[in-house]
Amino acid sequence: MENPRRILEQNIRELNDQIPAMNENIATVKANMLMLRKEVDRYEDKVEELTARIKSAINADRDDIAESYAMKLERTKKTLASSREQLKYAKQAHQKAKRVKKAFMKEKDRKIQEAKEALRASERAEWQSRVADTLEQFEVGGIDATHDEMIQRINEEAAKNEARMEMALDSIDTESMEIEANAEKMRAMELVNQFKQQMQKGITGKVLEGKVETTAKSTVENEKQKEEVAKSTGKTVDRQKTAS
């Protein structure tokens, strides 16, 4: 039987493959239109040139030359009219080709979007079918019973291991371990207090040294001030004696 998913995927590829061919056809139509436009421009220039030559020949009283140019002008005008007609149809063909491509692209996008949605729906349906098959196997093949039995075994094994762990903990003298831990903690606290006392003594000694040093400096400064006062007093007395 035909596979709908493969057919839709093939349709998407074919729709995308048609775009390059369509672009090539539009390019060919446009190239023909441009070629006819250049041809019309060339014939229009030729008509102006022949008209000017006919007038020049008439002004020079050369009717024979004017008649020759007149015949060429008539043939050129016929060709120009034909080229203009072809250019008109070429422009219409180009516009039509662009409209066709626009409509094709719109329809292509719509069909591809529909195909993608259908493919996604097919994937969901396939997944749902697999889930349904699995559930049916649970009920029909006895997997439910096996599943429950395995879970029961695992729970029993976990309970046994937990009981063994509790028995192992009961066999260890945890009370002695706690006493040792508390004693170690108390010893650590005692050491820390000793460090604090030593640090406090060090700070007190530095403060006392600072006070002694400050006192000594003050005593020296006082002695210097007394000496300066005595010197200044002696000088004053000497001056008074000299004046008298």
Model confidence pLDDT, tens digit, residues 88-128: 999 998 899 888 888 888 888 888 888 888 778 877 877 77
pLDDT of residue 34: 93
Contact call for residues 104 and 25 (beta carbons, < 8 A): no
| pLDDT greater at residue 153 or residue 215 | 153
pLDDT of residue 171: 63
User: Measured between alpha carbons, how far is residue 80 from residues 29, 76, 93, 103, 238 in Å?
Assistant: 20, 6, 20, 35, 143
> Residue 244 above 60 pLDDT?
no
Looking at domain 4-143, its CATH architecture is Orthogonal Bundle (1.10)
Matching residue, tokens 């008109």: 88
Q: Per mean pLDDT, which of 5-19, 47-61, 226-240 is the most reliable? A: 47-61
Rounded Cα gap, residues 34 and 90, in angstroms: 9
Decide if pLDDT at 220 tops 70.
no
Q: Given this model, what pLDDT does residue 176 score? A: 67
* Cα dihedral across residues 55, 56, 59, 63: positive or negative: negative
Q: What is the mean pLDDT of residues 134-155?
A: 64
In this model, does residue 218 exceed pLDDT 80?
A: no
Tokens of 169: 């903990």
Max mean pLDDT range (52-56, 123-127, 153-157, 177-181): 52-56
pLDDT at 39 over 90: yes
pLDDT at 142 over 60: no
With a cut of 80, say whether residue 146 has pLDDT above it.
Answer: no
With 90 as the cut, is the pLDDT of residue 42 above it? yes
Structure confidence at residue 37 (pLDDT): 93
- Single pTM value for the model: 0.43
**Average predicted confidence (pLDDT) for the chain:** 78
In this prediction, residue 130 carries a pLDDT of 75
Higher-confidence residue of 177 and 22: namely 22
pLDDT at 85: 93
Q: Which residues of 144-163 are buried (b: 16+ CB within 10 A; e: fewer)?
A: eeeeeeeeeeeeeeeeeeee
Structural contact between residues 29 and 55, judged by C-beta atoms closer than 8 angstroms: no
Euclidean distance between CA atoms 145 and 141, whole angstroms? 9
Q: Give the domain ranges of the chain.
A: 4-143, 185-244
